[in-house]
Structure 1
Amino acid sequence: MPGWTLVEGRAVALPIENIDTDQLIPARFMSTQRAEGYGRFLLHDLARGADGTPDPAFPLNRPESAGAKILVTRRNFGAGSSREAAVYALVDAGFRVVIAPSFGDIFSSNAINNGLLPARLSPEETERLIRLCPTTLRADLESLTLRAGEETLSFELDPVWREKLMKGWDDVDLTLAHGEAIAGFADARRAARPWTWPG
């Protein structure tokens, strides 16, 4: 997965609270091979009518949402089950950043491991961005800022998560980055307690 420091592109608003992972991708689509792409399943049951046709009133179905890279939404985004496929659906649909006042904890961790930034802003700041959408927005991991026109907002991000996004790492890559220290620890333990190691 490629790392990144800057994403600039169209930001669109999904002004709905409590979008959970079951809504992000309904379970019946999760048997699809990842290689086939999950983007077409994103928010399927919210975005389509009972007959399966796209609802033109749904925010992400509007023409101005085409090609969006940044989603601005409301609190408790990604709550619910731990399905990583919810993040796959967002990434496969082209999103690199989701902005909200709060996120599901497991969703946030899954997002980072798949190169998707969950940027937390206050409810008031989020609402200001929602009112600006659709707009061009710049997300900068170096400065930890979001910029839309004259509006510049700062967000906080765990330093380890920031490093993982910038280097394109998941949890395995993060562990491997400490391979020399791990090997040194193992060698020292083997020397100090040889009887605890297999022959």
Structure 2
Amino acid sequence: MDKFTTLTGVAAPLPTTNVDTDMIIPKQFLKTIKRTGLGKSLFYEMRYNDDGSENPDFTLNQPAWRDAQILVAGDNFGCGSSREHAPWALLDFGIRCVISTSFADIFYNNCFKNGILPIKLPQEDVDKLMDDARRGANATVTVDLEAQEIRGPDGGVVKFDLDPFRKHCLLNGLDDIGLTFEKKASIDAYEANMAEARPWA
């Protein structure tokens, strides 16, 4: 998993509330177990018309936000079914940070396991960042995980809270497998001892 330290980029506004995981990545794209290739289907029903052409009104299809790495979203983002493909699709598109007033619990946890930083903020702070995002490509936002702050294009700073363990994992690029490998020396020593003590096992 890639480390998350400081991210500076364009933030895309998505003020829609209750964006569920089926809206993020519809069910027909869940056949794969690969984490790559899902970005093109992110927000499929909002991004594309029935004939497969792009919907020019959708935020991520507009030139200012095509390369957005930060998403400023409406309340209750990631609700619905517990599909890990949702953060996979966001990450494959290039989104590394999602900011909202609230997230569904399973989606929120899955973000951390895939290198995405979900940030919960009060409504007034989200409104401020949504206004910044609406300004487009000239209004870059910096998310500093170490300092736990978001710096806006006009120099404003928004602080955010985060569980220290989750912060440690993101800063060091540690998913569940990475955390296990941190204990590799102890695991190897245990297995060597077991092999000597119980060679029949």
Q: TM class by shorter-chain length? A: 0.7 to 0.9
Deviations along 1:28-81, one digit per CA (max 9) or x if unpaired, are 011246265110010001222222221111111111112111010111111111
Point out 4+ residue stretches in structure 1 off by more than 3 angstroms.
178-187
Give, in whole Å, the separation in 2 of the partners of 1:36 and 1:99. 23
Change in CA separation of 1:119 and 1:36 when aligned onto 2, cut-off 3 Å? closer
Give, in whole Å, the separation in 1 of the partners of 2:50 and 2:17. 22
Tell me which residue corresponds to 2:166.
161
Tell me which residue corresponds to 2:181.
176
RMSD: 2.3
Give, in whole Å, the separation in 1 of the partners of 2:35 and 2:103. 27
Give, in whole Å, the separation in 2 of the partners of 1:45 and 1:144. 34
The 8 Å contact of residues 74 and 123 in structure 1, kept in 2 or not, is answered as no
Secondary structure at 1:34's aligned position in 2? coil
Residues 12-91 of structure 1 correspond to what in structure 2 (within 5 A)? 12-32=12-32, 34=34, 36-91=36-91
Deviations along 1:99-131, one digit per CA (max 9) or x if unpaired, are 101111111111111110001111111011111
Deviation at 1:175, TM superposition (A): 3.2
Tell me which residue corresponds to 1:144.
148
Secondary structure at 2:72's aligned position in 1? strand
Give the length in aligned residue pairs.
194
Stretches of structure 2 that go unaligned for 5 or more consecutive residues are none
The 8 Å contact of residues 14 and 60 in structure 1, kept in 2 or not, is answered as no
Give, in whole Å, the separation in 2 of the partners of 1:90 and 1:140. 20
Secondary structure at 1:118's aligned position in 2? strand
Q: Percent identity?
A: 38
> Which residue identity lines up with residue 74 of structure 2 in the other structure?
R
Change in CA separation of 1:148 and 1:47 when aligned onto 2, cut-off 3 Å? same
> Which residue identity lines up with residue 141 of structure 2 in the other structure?
L
Give, in whole Å, the separation in 2 of the partners of 1:7 and 1:127. 20
Stretches of structure 1 that go unaligned for 5 or more consecutive residues are none
Deviation at 1:10, TM superposition (A): 0.8
> Which residue identity lines up with residue 47 of structure 1 in the other structure?
R
1:103 aligned onto 2:103: yes
Secondary structure at 1:72's aligned position in 2? strand
TM-score normalised per structure 1: 0.87
